[in-house]
Chain A
Amino acid sequence: GAGVSQSPRYKVAKRGQDVALRCDPISGHVSLFWYQQALGQGPEFLTYFQNEAQLDKSGLPSDRFFAERPEGSVSTLKIQRTQQEDSAVYLCASSPRTGMNTEAFFGQGTRLTVV
Chain B
Amino acid sequence: QQQVKQSPQSLIVQKGGISIINCAYENTAFDYFPWYQQFPGKGPALLIAIRPDVSEKKEGRFTISFNKSAKQFSLHIMDSQPGDSATYFCAASLNDKIIFGKGTRLHILP
Contacts and interface: CB of A to CB of B under 8 A. Distances in A.
Interface string B78-108: 0000000000010101111111111100000
Nearest to A3: B43
How big is chain B's contact interface, by range? 20 to 34
Given A91-B44, A106-B45, A101 B103 contact: no
Interface string A74-115: 000000000000000001010000111111111111000000
A48 B96 contact: yes
Contacts, number: 64
A48 B44 contact: no
B42 interface: yes
Contacts of A4: 43
Interface of B: 6, 31-32, 34, 36, 41-46, 49, 89, 91, 93-103
Interface of A: 4, 31, 33, 40-45, 48, 50, 55-56, 59, 91, 93, 98-109
